[in-house]
Amino acid sequence: MPRPPLGRFVEYVPRVTYFKPAGIPMRDLDEVCLTVDELEALRLKDVEGLEQEEGAVRMGVARTTFRRILVTARAKVARALTEGKAIRIEGGNYQVTTSKRFKCENCGLIWEVPSRTDQVRTDQEEANMTCPECKAGRIRRVDHGRHGFGNRPCGWHGGSSPA
């Protein structure tokens, strides 16, 4: 057995994992499979508005890898929207982060914040953070928790689509 590739870090595991065009019976519907790590790249770049460099750091991958994931994810979503396909989100190669470590650029303090991996964490919260020690606002994310994982292709269970 080849060793599975190291998981990409994701901070967000979606609750809603199936999107379906209205008014089309499932049997006539094609679906596009978006993996959890692909969704994370989309989220970091297009929802959080990060640069590719930052997104790559957050996911623990090279910038070129991040770009490749992002391009694939955008293409899948675009195809679903233009061709009227359902989107299933599952699978991928990822590790869910469970804590976030921050560093104050002013005094050098490092501290950890538990992450709620089962819900959307508010970016507002992160953007408004100040150092608990010196109250400076120049905070940098420096680490990832490393618990939870996924390493399956999208559509791994086969079976029928949800109605």
Collapsing DSSP to helix, strand or coil, 119 comes out as: coil
Q: Which is nearer to Zn ion, 46 or 129 (CB)?
A: 129
Give the CA dihedral 97, 100, 105, 106, nearest 10 degrees. Answer: 180
Q: Which is nearer to Zn ion, 65 or 106 (CB)?
A: 106
Phi, psi dihedral angles at 123 (to 5 degrees): -70, -25
Point out which residues bind Zn ion (CB under 5 A): 104, 106-107, 109, 131, 133-134, 136
Handedness of CA 130, 135, 136, 142 (dihedral sign): negative
Q: Which is nearer to Zn ion, 51 or 133 (CB)?
A: 133
**Least Å distance between CB 134 and Zn ion?**
3
**Helix, strand, coil proportions of the chain in percent (round to 5)?**
30, 25, 45
User: Are 88 and 34 in contact, with CB atoms under 8 Å apart?
Assistant: yes
Q: Which is nearer to Zn ion, 59 or 104 (CB)?
A: 104
Structure-block tokens of residue 3: 């060793």
Structure-block tokens of residue 10: 């994701």
Q: Which is nearer to Zn ion, 30 or 105 (CB)?
A: 105
Q: Rounded distance, CA 2 to CA 67, Å?
A: 25
Q: Rounded distance, CA 91 to CA 79, Å?
A: 19
